[in-house]
Structure 1
Amino acid sequence: MKSSKHQFVGQKVKLSDICSIVSGATPVTTVTDYWGGDIKWITPSELNDDSHVIYDTAKHLTEAGFASARLRMFPKGTVLLTTRAPIGKVAIAGEPMCCNQGFKNFVCSDAVNNEYLYRYLKNRSSELQALGRGATFKELSKKEVAAYEINLPPLKRQLEAVEKLALVDKQVVIAKTQLDKLDSLVKSRFVEMFGDLKSDTNGWPIKPFETFAIIDTHMANDLTPYLDMPHIGIDSIESGTGRLSGYRTVAEDGIISGKYPFTPEHLIYSKIRPSLNKVALPDFSGVCSADAYPILPIAGECNRVYLAEVMRSAYFLEYILPLSGRAQMPKVNKKALSGFSMPLPPIELQQQFAAFAAQVDKSRFGGMLHLLNSLSGIMHASFFSVADTD
């Protein structure tokens, strides 16, 4: 059922003008009678960058649990927006459901198409993240969300934009499938060249971390020299592949101190569980958050591409997971990482693998270039131009 908000079309509109905004809450987790029912209840951790329509949730509430938290159901078609931990993930409810306090969700009026709003907000996730406030963790308030303005063209133009982007989505799916195949090719080549690291059938020396890499945690207390450089957070690193996206400059993020500088010779490793297989290989200089370690492989001993692939492997995770602690935010400390040992093949063999991975990267990015340019053009035409009122 649509929101009862009045029809409104203009160049810029507040979300509160065109949507009803629904928040959520969490029933007491220790009361078993509140959990395991038929009511779908979603949390921000269930959304990712590829989320679109959500039909089911990881947890379900009973009627008693629903009533205890004074929750409100929102209908099928509601646009979901995470506003804390993290900010800016977007999806559409494929079934009626409720949520925890990490969302501000939009029941659309007849003035706005839910697919259009979903895509608009998804495209503005970085902007939404920058609006977050809070000392312990950033959050968007209901007041801030209600006042957020979007371009709202007439419904006909909204539907045209959605149709165009749906065609682009199909091409993106094809491209991602190709990328997945290329990623699998690199992993297969790694196994062919180095075998099962755990069994160590090649007889290569087992060397401790400190002999082939430096955990480079000299912190920059003055970030003035880095203002135009990227600031990498662990959310910018894709699990499994290490691809980087969604990062901003130091100046854009407004940070002034307490970050680790890195160069194109470093790799960046996420030390926060459950992101312990996130390892990035930047080809630029910048700073990373304190939730990651810049690691500098020692020249002539270890190639960073080889090391990154080891640190994404089950072999490494089997070692590091038990050492990541049981705190509210489990993380790997420097001592635990320094204690890691691994087989170290001859540097020439490591470099051969790195050269193979570089050739695969050329295939990956060359094939994506035209698609990304086309996608950028369509998004600019659909979202960034001033909406007309015809």
Structure 2
Amino acid sequence: MRVKLKDITNYSKGSQVNSDCLIENGKYIYLNGGVNPSGKWNNYNVLSNTVTVSEGGNSSGYINYITEPFWCGAHCYYLFDGPKNTKYLYYALKSQQQRLFKLRSGACMPNIKKKDLGDFELEFDFNEVIQNNIVNILDECNKIIDNYHLELELLDELIKARFVEMFGSIHENRMYPYLNVKNLTTVYSGGTPNRKKTEYWENGTIPWVKTTELQNNHLSIIEECITKEGLENSSAKIIPAKSILIAMYGQGKTRGMTAFLDIASSTNQACACLLSTTNINMEYMWYYFQFSYNKLRGLAEGGNQPNLNLNMIKNFPVLVPPTELQNQFVGFVRQVDKSKFEIQKSLEKTQELYDSLMQKYFG
């Protein structure tokens, strides 16, 4: 049945807590909109097993399900006195996540008005037996997905542990020398052809990488291509395969993320390109930069959106053990990657099943 949210549940904003007053070891999370809690507090104003909708900011419209008592801030709606099975309501709303994002209004600081949220329409089955069955099935899917994610995280930790076992400290090592990147290889940045000139883009055959594609991944399939004319009339350059890309700036977690080029490609100006060289095992150096993510991000400069630059990348110190040991480490990583590949395939299949079930149940 198609219903309006206001016809099946009540909803209200919480109360603001000054960020300076949050308690590091508080018993309850403080959720003030957004995807994640903003901190901890010593009291709660909302009970457990509650659906929330972020009210303001870039995350406005994001649906959360909080399983413990918590303090709800003023930029977050919480739903109450609604269906007995609150998890079913969560899944019904979560299935419409993209439509909820479209309720946003306002330019500088988007938000969702209370009336618009109440008038939001969704598919809802009032049969409690059906609700319980749906929740059980979707919960089981999510449990499997979470377990696959955990397995991938543990394998990443195994790789890092193997590095420390073989080489010692990552950034304060006394066993082996550090060399700056500029002493190991050449570093370039890319460029962006004029978007207004269709001849620089239309029917392009030269792969062109953006920082959003850098996810500590191998890159062989690239979203956009430019033409030879676009390459020649911009700062873009052909970067050879087996080079490392590092995002110098970008939204959220992007700055400091990396990729290993499996094919020759060009990039935009936000990518630092460490060209393939025989001075060091490039895969070893790629993993070293993944382990150095936080250290690298900490070098960034600027105001609201701090950035890295080529000079910072060129002068970044890399631990350089003997080549034979570098090769041994890379061989170990490749074996672990085979296991990760199989887990990733299973994860994707389960995610596809979950998505199809959400579509089946909620349209």
Quick one: which amino acid aligns to residue 294 of structure 1?
C
Deviation at 1:202, TM superposition (A): 4.9
Structure 1 unaligned residues grouped into runs of 5+:
1-9, 49-55, 63-72, 251-259
Alignment of 1:264-283 (within 5 A): 266-269=244-247, 271=249, 275=253, 279-281=257-259
Q: CA deviation at 1:218?
A: 1.9
Structure 1 letter corresponding to 2:40: A
The yes-or-no answer on 1:384 pairing with 2:359 is yes
Alignment pair present for 1:20 and 2:10 = yes
1:166 aligns with 2:139: yes
1:279·1:308 contact (CA, 8 Å) conserved in 2? no
Match of 2:40 among 58, 61, 66: 58
Asked if 2 retains the 8 angstrom alpha-carbon contact of 1:213 and 1:295, the reply is: no
| Matched letter for residue 135 of structure 2 | V
The answer to whether the 8 Å contact 1:41/1:100 transfers is: no
Distance 1:91 1:27, change over 3 A: same
Residue 92 of structure 1: how far off its partner (Å): 2.0
TM-score by structure 2 length?
Answer: 0.67
User: CA 1:59 to 1:324, structure 2 compared with 1: closer, same or farther past 3 Å?
Assistant: farther
Residue 99 (structure 1) aligned with residue 73 (structure 2)? yes
| Alpha-carbon distance between aligned partners in 2 of 1:27 and 1:275, rounded to the nearest angstrom | 26
Contact 1:40–1:96 (Cα < 8 Å) also in 2: yes
Matched, 1:196 2:169: yes
RMSD over equivalenced CA pairs, Å: 4.9
Choose which of 334, 340, 343 in structure 2 pairs with 1:367.
343
Q: In the alignment, is the contact (CA less than 8 A) between 1:81 and 1:105 conserved in 2? A: yes
CA deviation vs aligned residue, 1:70-104 (integer Å, no higher than 9, x gap):
xxx54433212334343425222522532132x23
Give the 3 Å change call, closer, same or farther, for CA 114–349 of structure 1 in structure 2.
Answer: same
Matches of 1:98 and 1:232 in 2, distance apart? 35
The answer (yes or no) to whether the contact 2:180–2:314 under 8 Å persists in 1 is: no
Q: Which residue is 1:306 aligned to?
A: 284
Alignment-mate amino acid for residue 86 of structure 1: S
State the alpha-carbon separation in 2 of the partners of residues 305 and 137 from structure 1: 42
Q: Distance in 1 between matches of 2:359 and 2:318?
A: 50
Shift of 1:163: 0.6
In 1, distance between residues paired with 2:106 and 2:254? 26
**Alpha carbons 1:311, 1:317 under 8 Å: kept:** no
Structure 2 residue matching 1:58: 3-state secondary structure: strand
Q: Give the letter for the 1:58 counterpart.
A: K
Q: Which residue of 1 aligns with 2:50?
A: 78
Identify the residue that residue 68 of structure 1 maps to in structure 2. none
Q: What is the match of residue 274 of structure 2? A: 297
Measure the CA separation in 2 of the matches of 1:135 and 1:179: 39
Contact 2:179 2:319 in 1 (8 A): yes
Percent identity reads: 20
Supply the distance in 2 between the matched residues of 1:131 and 1:226 (Cα, whole angstroms).
34
Counterpart CA distance in 1 for 2:6 and 2:336 is 47
Structure 1 stretches of 4+ with a deviation exceeding 6 A read 35-40, 229-232, 260-264, 282-290
**Distance change in 2, residues 1:278/1:21 (3 Å):** farther
Q: Is the 8 A contact 1:77 1:107 kept in 2?
A: no
Give the match's secondary structure for 1:104.
Answer: strand
The residue matched to 2:140 in structure 1 has which SS? Answer: helix
Question: Any idea what SS the aligned residue of 1:186 has?
Answer: helix
* 1:43 aligned partner: 32
Counterpart residue type for residue 373 of structure 1: K
Please give the alpha-carbon distance, in whole angstroms, between the structure 2 residues aligned to 1:304 and 1:146.
54
Conserved in 2, the CA contact under 8 Å of 1:303 and 1:347?
Answer: yes
2:155–2:340 contact (8 Å) kept in structure 1:
yes
Quote the Cα distance in structure 2 between the aligned partners of 1:192 and 1:136.
49
CA displacement at 1:380 relative to structure 2: 1.6
Q: Counterpart in 1 of 2:86? A: 114
Alpha-carbon separation, structure 1, partners of 2:108 and 2:262: 30
Find the residue that maps to 1:281 and give its secondary structure.
Answer: strand
Relative distance call for 1:276 and 1:350 in structure 2 (3 A) is farther
Contact 1:277 1:317 in 2 (8 A): no
